[in-house]
Structure formats: structure tokens, C-alpha cells
Amino acid sequence: MNKFKKLFFIPLLALAIFACQPAVKTTTVTTGIPEWTKNSVLYEVNIRQYTPEGTFKAFETHLPRLKELGVDILWIMPIHPISEKNRKGSLGSYYAVKDYKGINPEFGSMEDFKGLVNKAHEMGFKVIIDWVANHTGWDNQWITDHPEWYTKDSLGNIIPPNPDWSDIADLNFDSQPMRSAMIDAMDFWVRETNIDGFRCDVAWGVPQDFWEAATASLDSIKPVYMLAEDEDHPALLEKAFESNYAWKLHHILNEVAKGKKTAADIQKYYMDSVSIYAPGSFPMQFITNHDENSWQGTEYERMGEAVKTFAALTFTIEGIPLLYSGQEAGLSKRLLFFEKDTINWSNLEMQKYYQSLINLKKSNAALWNGEAGAPKVFVETSAPQNVLAFTREKDDNQVLAVFNLSAEPVEASLKLTKGGDYQEYFSGETKTLENGTTVKLDKWGYQIFVRK
């Protein structure tokens, strides 16, 4: 059973019958997800690097531009104080939490954060924050007050989750009091600041039953959107999370860009995928994020001339698309992770492009998220190694997406089961498509056909 989200009307007699029953989470009858996620686009906010000031108030000045861009859900990277003990670099990792109920003073005050959330809500945004349940920093008060809440070696020493993560201490989820304190801290942010959910770091490293208990507690306050940094544990999507990461597909796209994989590998990924999405849940699609940018390289390093191609793919395949801070400015450098490294906003060269992709998604119900949208159906082509084509159809809305995933021009025929007049989204040209229609695509070219 997926997460209940929206209260539906039932007869008065049924209300009387259920009056004595425990409260349950509310649900939508049709989608099983919060109504406001049905066609939403995520935007990851790196407060430290967003502005020279690196504060909530400075970021707030960008909200009108982000509203124009069209994104809906602001995912703000960790806002908590960062531990100093065993810190990496001069500023440390956002993910080494010193105080789960505190605010990083570099970003501003609690009132500043509440002001940002209120302003975002007034403008129609939803706000989720990063949550780090798997571990804490080494000078978190929990270590002093409750060392029994942590994982220890045979000598009784608290240890990191793995040797490379030396700036953090691993939490022991066998401790029920620790679990209760963690859920209390998560509830705190929803109650006190009215945020709308969480992106949960290392979700795969935390027991499923904890996440289910946490989500049930949160949803008793208000319906929340929960995003798991995970792909290999689809059961997390049954009761705890709406979305997870499409990591495997992302890695395939990187390999396709390098000529090491082909369009056929993407189809094979979908045929072989063991991930089963619970009703109402859906993956997060992306070409970059804070981890990829800092550690694996910018999208331009990894994908080269195919950046726009794969961006368009993430907005047309199933799932909720993600944009990372600076992506709309053509960010072409790896942002330092443990130091100050401000994004250059002087050239918003990609803003209009991503705005067009967001409009494409929002204006076509077939492309919406989860059960609010439609599943893809792959279209057979005469060039299966180079061309990826699929349709998504909901009611009278049909989208046909055709991508040349190679560095050479291609001409391919399409085996269509339905024909008709379509408008190519980017050019605005009307074209009659039928079984056997041939499309010509430049290297890394693509065409998105819409019929309403």
C-alpha cells in the first residue's frame, strides 16, 4: 500500500464507523501522491555557493527568477551547523551535522530560514530540506550525551560508516531512543518552519522501518514529499518515499555520451530493471546534481555536445526532473565541496532552454509524474543502436520523443501504431506522422512531437 495523501469524501455513516479507528494518512484516489507533485520540477539549492554572501536572504533575491524559470520544489541542501571536529576543508561537509535542530550560522538565522520558506510559499513554491539520518558530525551533542546511539568497533570506539568518510560518525539504528530523537528532530522542522518534505541522504543506509515510522509521523502533521537517495531498495517506495534516484539510467547516459553504450542499452535497462515502482511513486531524473558536479564532473565534462539532448530526455521520460544550482547558467566548473566557490550568474544562457523544457512538461499531461502522467511505450526504429524513440499518451494528449544518441547524423524510419498531425515542440512545425515515417536528425539531435 502506498503512502496515503489526500482525504476523500465518504458518507456520514462511514465516518461514524471509522471515528474510533486510528488516524491514517490521507491519499489521492487517482495518483497516490501529493497533488502538487503531479507535474512538478525539482530544483536543488546550494546555499553556500549560490551567492557571494552564501545566505538565505541572498538566495531569496533569486526566487523571482526561479519562478519565471518554472521550477516548483526547492530542495535546499543541508541547513544545519557543520561539525568542526575532523572537518574536511575549511568549511566542512554540509552532511556532517552538528545539531539537527540548529541552523548553520553561515547561512543566517532561524528567522531568516523561516522567512525564506514563507516567501517561497507565497510565490507558489514548495520547500524540502536535506536530511542526514545515517550519521552525524563528530562534535554533535549526541556523541557526548548518548554514545550508545553510535556504531562502535570491537574496542568500543565510535566509527565512521566507512574509512573514507572520516568526518562523520555512524549512527546505530538498533537504538530505539535514537530513532525517536531523530523522528522528533524531523517533526520539528515541519512543525516549526512549515517545510514540505525531505530529501534523505544515504537513505539506503538506514533501515526501511525507520523511514516508514518517520514518514507516518511527518504525515500526521501535514502531507510531505519524500525523496530517497537510493535506487536499489524499491520497497522504500511502498510506505516511506514518493521518489528515488534514477542512478543507473544516469550512468548509462554518461556512457552513451562517451560512445561506450548505445540507445539500445537504454531500452535494455528498462526491460531488465528490477526496480518496481509502487503506485504513485516515480524516479528522479537528472543530468547533474551536487555529487555529480563536484566529484564526477560537470555535465559538459561528462556529456559534451549531448547535454541538451540528455536534458530533454530527462524531461520526457518517466519521472520528476531535477535542475541543480547553476545548471540554468551553463555552470561549467566543478564547485568545491568543502570551500567557498560562488556560482557565476553573469550568463543565463540555458535559462530559456530549461524554461522551454519545463513548459513542455507542464503543458502535456502525458509527461506528468507518476500515475498523473502516462507510461512510455518504446517505438521501433530502423536504427535501434542510435535512435531512441518512445510515446507517452494520456487521454487525448500524445507525445512522441525521438532522440539521436550518437555523434553522427542519422536517418531512421519509425514503426508507429498511430498516425496523425503533430506539432514539433521546438520548431513549431506541423508534420503528418504515420507508420514508416522517416525522421532526419543531426548528431545528438532530437524532435519532440505533440498531439493534443
- Band (pLDDT 50/70/90 cuts) for residue 403 is very high
* pLDDT value, residue 275: 60
CB distance 45 to 71 below 8 Å:
no
* pLDDT value, residue 33: 72
Task: Measure the CA–CA gap between 258 and 302, rounded to whole angstroms.
Answer: 8
The closest alpha carbon to 313, from 173, 448, 219, 198, belongs to 448
* pLDDT value, residue 345: 98
The closest alpha carbon to 358, from 331, 323, 391, belongs to 323
**Based on the number of CB atoms within 10 Å of its own CB, is 438 exposed (0-12), middle (13-18) or buried (19 or more)?**
exposed
Q: At what angle do helices 307-316 and 351-362 cross, to 10 degrees?
A: 20
pLDDT at 8 over 50: no
* pLDDT value, residue 278: 86
User: Lowest-pLDDT range, 1-15, 92-106, 186-200?
Assistant: 1-15
- Domain boundaries, given as residue ranges, for the chain: 34-367, 380-451
**Based on the number of CB atoms within 10 Å of its own CB, is 94 exposed (0-12), middle (13-18) or buried (19 or more)?**
buried
- Band (pLDDT 50/70/90 cuts) for residue 279 is confident
User: Which fold, 380-451?
Assistant: Immunoglobulin-like (2.60.40)
Task: Measure the CA–CA gap between 3 and 21, rounded to whole angstroms.
Answer: 18
Taking only the tens place, the pLDDT of each residue in 309-330 is 999 999 999 999 999 999 999 9
- Rounded mean pLDDT of 44-58? 98
pLDDT at 227 over 80: yes
- Band (pLDDT 50/70/90 cuts) for residue 158 is very high
* pLDDT value, residue 69: 98
- Rounded mean pLDDT of 287-299? 98
Across the chain, mean pLDDT equals 92
- Band (pLDDT 50/70/90 cuts) for residue 386 is very high
DSSP characters over 335-401: PPSSS------S--TTHHHHHHHHHHHHT-GGGSSGGGS--EEE-EES-TTTEEEEEEEETTEEEEE
Task: Measure the CA–CA gap between 425 and 396, rounded to whole angstroms.
Answer: 17
User: Lowest-pLDDT range, 108-112, 279-283, 291-295?
Assistant: 279-283
pLDDT at 108 over 80: yes
* pLDDT value, residue 48: 98
The closest alpha carbon to 225, from 246, 196, 202, belongs to 196
DSSP summary character for residue 292: I
Taking only the tens place, the pLDDT of each residue in 423-440 is 999 999 999 999 999 999
CATH number of 34-367: 3.20.20.80
* pLDDT value, residue 274: 60
β strands within 70-125, DSSP E: 73-76
pLDDT at 12 over 60: no
CA separation, residue 414 to residues 389, 420, 449 (Å)? 8, 13, 13
Dihedral-angle region of residue 87 (phi above 0 means left; psi in -120 to 50 means alpha; beta otherwise): beta
**Based on the number of CB atoms within 10 Å of its own CB, is 249 exposed (0-12), middle (13-18) or buried (19 or more)?**
buried
pTM of the model: 0.93
